[in-house]
Chain A
Amino acid sequence: ETGVTQSPTHLIKTRGQQVTLRCSSQSGHNTVSWYQQALGQGPQFIFQYYREEENGRGNFPPRFSGLQFPNYSSELNVNALELDDSALYLCASSPLAGVTGELFFGEGSRLTVL
């Protein structure tokens, strides 16, 4: 069984640029959520996708957007990058109404904005 995989693992961008992060969900999981983790903080919920539709969003501006594909993989796009967007971006997959409610996280993509 393949776990959640994310790419790239590290990347550096400059302020104002755009970035796309990718996530492959665990086999059989139809729900993907994205979290942002600033240094020294706990992860913060960005949004969740189920069957290619966004069905939950945290307190993040519209320049944070996403997609989910028919194979349940997902992308996180961030436009007009700001210095404060520097963080670890975590993807998590799950069945929508799993027995345990467990989320399975990838190892994250570390974004540095200069």
Chain B
Amino acid sequence: DAKTTQPTSMDCAEGRAANLPCNHSTISGNEYVYWYRQIHSQGPQYIIHGLKNNETNEMASLIITEDRKSSTLILPHATLRDTAVYYCIVRLLNSGNTPLVFGKGTRLSVIA
């Protein structure tokens, strides 16, 4: 079973920041937080990951609380193309046998 809980759906106005929350209260000390998204009819796409520090890349920012029990993915300026299901996953890094355990994710709708 997935070790994360996410809201089922969210809306965001185009051009505004999309903030997607995730709870992972049972995360272990050596587990990372990963975010993937899945645009309709495509395979999941990696967005970002982090352990305990905040991370930023060209796609998004990841904010992890100090106790690591929750995190927020931020899309700073959402576009219509960001409409997708977003999955928050906890996983060991560099463990070749550890699969991704997906929950149902959050369906983000970006509205013009």
List A residues at the B interface (Cβ < 8 Å): 4, 31, 33, 35, 40-45, 48, 50, 55-56, 58, 90, 92, 96-98, 100-108
**C-alpha spacing A48/B99, complex, angstroms:** 8
**How many positions in chain B have a CB within 8 Å of any CB in the partner chain?**
26
| CB contact between B103 and one of A4, A42, A58 (< 8 Å): that residue | A42
B105 partner residues in chain A, CB cutoff 8 A: 42
**C-alpha spacing A90/B103, complex, angstroms:** 16
| CB contact between B43 and one of A44, A90, A100 (< 8 Å): that residue | A90
Would you list the 10 A-B pairs with minimal beta carbon distance, nearest first? A105-B43, A42-B102, A45-B99, A96-B96, A102-B46, A56-B97, A101-B93, A97-B94, A43-B102, A105-B44
A96 partner residues in chain B, CB cutoff 8 A: 96
Listed by A's residue number, 25 A-B pairs whose Cβ atoms lie within 8 Å are: A31-B96, A40-B104, A41-B104, A42-B85, A42-B105, A43-B102, A44-B102, A45-B99, A45-B100, A48-B99, A50-B96, A55-B96, A56-B97, A58-B99, A90-B43, A97-B94, A97-B96, A101-B32, A101-B93, A101-B94, A102-B46, A104-B46, A105-B45, A107-B42, A108-B42
